[in-house]
Amino acid sequence: MTKKILFIGYGSIAIKHIKIIKKKTKSPIYVLSKHFKGEKKLIKISLKKALNTTYEYCFICTPSTERMKYLKLFENNCKSFFLEKPISNNYKKAKYSLSKIKSKKNIYIGYVFRNNLIIKSLKKIIEQKKLGIINSVQVISRSYMPSWRNNIDYKNSVSSKKSKGGGVLLELSHEIDILFYLFGNIKLFSKRLTRSKNLKINVEDRADIMFLNKNKIPINLLLDFNSYLNERRIIINGSKSLIDVNLNSNFYYIYTRNKKKKYEFKNEISKMFYRQLTNYVNNNFKNNSVIDSLKVLKIIDEIKKN
């Protein structure tokens, strides 16, 4: 029997997933989106027809404000779901919606950096205490949002609209998920959200946040999508050594008192997306639980509170 695949939403991340899937399978791919105008080997489908069909895999790549709605709508039509991150723009609504879903074991969340070998290596280094006692952590994600998508005016994109779940916290929530993955539960200590005038959008474009984990380690997070410097780094200072991770350039340095050593990886940014979809189709959900994604959403809600 042919396995059918449904994509709900047809933005840049959906297109990225589709390109990978088309290389891995000949299964028919259906697209439910008003933005989809047609493409070879893809089948445009209406909501009415989609609800009268069953699928092996369902990818929900809509704006975050709509993901819970479609999850509930297609609960009985799909064997398993892939939800892009974040799962919603509202923690309480997401928690309530998920409480009504019968099987949350069949839901995979698209926090792709959990499939990055650099992040996996970093997790082992922390768990094996190779850095010694950790004194501080700094996580940085800077980019220039108007340059993200060449074919879309950034002012009209989901990223810049509060009503669609935009803003730097939701758009760059990967970094918050990475912190949960590496350090377990974290608590908000302080925060500052700012909105620059030059972008002329109605959402925050920078967040300076301080967390503490259970061991009271200070964790500083900087999220900024109004920066001409494109940077994604994790710096962990320990009593034995310091590690400086450059995720954009696929390497990290480990510094000790007398030397430094470089560890390089190849094409991790592209490879992690392939691993993610392989994990999903193989039902390997242990690295992307619904519970963890709710934790990310909950702490984002806390940060946004006045």
Number of domains in the chain: 2
The pLDDT profile of the chain, 306 residues, written as one tens digit per residue, is 468 999 999 999 999 999 999 988 889 999 999 989 888 889 999 999 999 999 999 999 999 999 999 999 999 999 999 999 999 999 999 999 999 998 888 899 999 999 999 999 999 999 999 999 999 999 999 999 888 877 777 777 888 878 778 899 999 999 999 999 999 999 999 999 999 888 888 889 999 999 999 999 999 999 999 999 999 999 999 999 999 999 999 999 999 998 999 999 999 999 999 999 998 988 766 656 889 999 999 999 999 986
CA angle 218, 263, 212 (to 5 degrees): 10
Same-domain status, 81 and 146: no
Same-domain status, 138 and 220: yes
Domain termination residue (choose one: 77, 109, 141): 109
Q: What is the CATH number of the domain that holds 34?
A: 3.40.50.720
Q: Which of 297, 305, 252, 306 has its CA nearest to residue 65? A: 297
- Residue 283 within a domain: no
Task: Find out whether 238 and 227 touch, Cβ atoms under 8 Å.
Answer: no
Which residue range forms the structural domain that includes residue 58? Answer: 5-109
- Residue 235 within a domain: yes
- Residue 285 within a domain: no
Domain termination residue (choose one: 90, 109, 128): 109
- Residue 284 within a domain: no
Same-domain status, 263 and 147: yes
Q: Phi and psi dihedrals of 248, rounded to 5?
A: -70, -30
> 28: cis peptide before it, omega within 30°?
no
Look-up of token digits 């489908």: 45
- Euclidean distance between CA atoms 271 and 265, whole angstroms: 10
216 exposure class (CB count in 10 Å sphere: 0-12, 13-18, 19+): exposed
Q: What is the CATH number of the domain that holds 208?
A: 3.30.360.10
- Residue 135 within a domain: yes
Same-domain status, 182 and 228: yes
